[in-house]
Homo-oligomer: A and B are copies of this chain.
């Protein structure tokens, strides 16, 4: 668990923000596992900065729901359970559904071009087993384009709060080939509704898409954590 000391290539960026970015990345990628204790002095030494910006970074990550902070106790990477997984996906379904409804009436030609390109790349990627991370990125790009097109900073931030958690990142990594194809078809269907400027339909499809993803993730989690019961049921 060691970070690059100073890769803040962004000019003029505040030290605390750079630290928050590094830590966020480390948490989302799983480099810092759930429950990992984040001592301030330790982090400060590793990043070659003082505790002050570290504290600020930890506060930001706390408000993003990525780390737990109790008084007079070291911060720790937040851990998620099945309930969190269900809750996060449900909220995401509602919020992104809302975003899709609004976006349907605001998407520009440039946006549609991006979405079409994303779907094309997604279609090519979903066939193969390789480059799963790339597929995940493509998926997020599709969703992000729609969310940002809704044009609400607040909505974007809220959706980030329920999307940018390691659990959801990992969920996509477990998709089977069939799952990937289904997700791809969902994206095509959403794009279709958006192109028709059919706001209600776009909302419905987006909501269904994310709720489907939720159920896939929950089922996978059940298989992993309770294989005996799952096997018995499927028999």
A106–chain B nearest beta-carbon distance, Å:
13
**Chain B neighbourhood of A91, CB < 8 A:** 98, 154-155, 158
Cα–Cα, bound, A84→B94 (Å): 19
Selected from B14, B59, B87, the residue in CB contact (under 8 A) with A59 is B59
Residues in B whose Cβ lies below 8 Å from that of A84: 154
Residue of B nearest to A97 (CB): B94
In contact, B14 and A154 (Cβ under 8 angstroms):
no
| Interface assignment of A8: CB less than 8 Å from any CB of chain B | no
**Alpha-carbon distance between A98 and B60 when the two chains are bound, in angstroms:** 27
7 further interface pairs, Cβ-Cβ under 8 Å (given A59-B63, A63-B63): A14-B71, A55-B56, A56-B59, A59-B59, A84-B154, A91-B98, A154-B162
Write out, one digit per residue, whether chain A residues 53-73 have a CB within 8 A of any chain B CB (1) or not (0).
001100110010100000100
Give the contacts of A1-56 with B (CB-CB under 8 A): 14, 52, 55-56
- Closest B residue to A59 using CB positions: B59
Q: Mark A145-187, 1 if CB is under 8 A from B, else 0.
A: 0000000101100100110000000000000000000000000
Q: Which B residue sits closest to A154, measured CB to CB?
A: B87
Question: Is residue A218 contacting chain B, with contact meaning CB distance below 8 A?
Answer: no
User: Residue A88 at the B interface, CB < 8 A?
Assistant: yes
Cβ–Cβ contact A158 & B161, under 8 A: yes
Measured in the bound complex, the distance between the Cα atoms of B87 and A98 in whole Å is: 11
A sample of 6 cross-chain residue pairs with beta-carbon separation below 8 angstroms, ordered by A number, consists of A59-B60, A60-B63, A65-B154, A84-B154, A87-B155, A158-B161
Lowest 5 CB-CB distances: which A-B pairs, in order?
Answer: A63-B63, A59-B59, A87-B152, A14-B71, A94-B98
| B-side contacts of A60, CB under 8 Å | 59, 63
Question: Complex formed: what's the CA distance from A91 to B90 in Å?
Answer: 15
A40 to chain B, nearest CB (A): 13
Question: Which A57-114 residues sit within 8 Å CB-CB of chain B?
Answer: 59-60, 63, 65, 71, 84, 87-88, 90-91, 94-95, 98
